[in-house]
Amino acid sequence: MAEVKLEESWRTRLEPTFQTEWFQKLRAFLKEEMAAGATIYPPGPRIFAALDSTPFDKVRAVVLGQDPYHGPGQAHGLSFSVPAGIPKPPSLVNIHTEYNTDLGFPIPKHGSLEPWSKNGVLLLNTCLTVRAGQPLSHQNQGWEKFTDRIVELLAARPEPMVFILWGLSARKKTERVNLSRHGVIASVHPSPLSSYRGFFGSKPFSKANDFLVKAGQPPIDWRLGE
């Protein structure tokens, strides 16, 4: 993990977590995967890209998903996002559809959600790595504890923020959030397998801004361009 890039405000706060026995086991698991020739997504330097893109004190909203995309070239460390030029996965197509319906902004041609990460939205997955072609292959190896800690650190901040939780694994993080201070917007995952059971029509983006404004915080600029 030495080559992993991590923004200083996160590195300082997570340093005790990196020293825990369970995180050392997670590191060993990832090394074993790579030694066995497994392809891991995202690439090593991008594993902590969500944290690196949105410093701790800049976070005003968290979009939390399941685990990274498992196809070639898709995962770049930001949940639900793909690099510009990569075809949109079905979940992202559905997110863009809800984005358009909710906010009225045009659906972008690209699949990058980097503008959100630069505007205070932490694009986090419950698990930060995955084996190529095998969704949930790195489940129950320690990443869930790690992302629990991230949510706990954010939830301890006095400034109100909003947690947008998509899918069962993400919704489990609700118990880590002080609901008297912060907002939670939870729904099924935007995957085509579940999106029609409550993701479409959930209006997560406008609801997030409504919460922030009522809490005396500036709204998120959700625009992604065209």
Structure tokens at 128: 């930060």
d(CA 95, CA 120): 18
Is the alpha carbon torsion for 10, 15, 19, 21 positive or negative? negative
The secondary structure of 26-69 as a DSSP string is HHHHHHHHHHTT--EES-GGGTTHHHHHS-GGG--EEEEESS--
Q: How many CB atoms lie within 10 A of CB 138?
A: 23
Q: Do residues 175 and 62 touch, judged by C-beta distance below 8 A? A: no
d(CA 3, CA 100): 38
- Please list the residues that pair with 130 across neighbouring strands: 41
Give the catalytic positions in this structure: 67
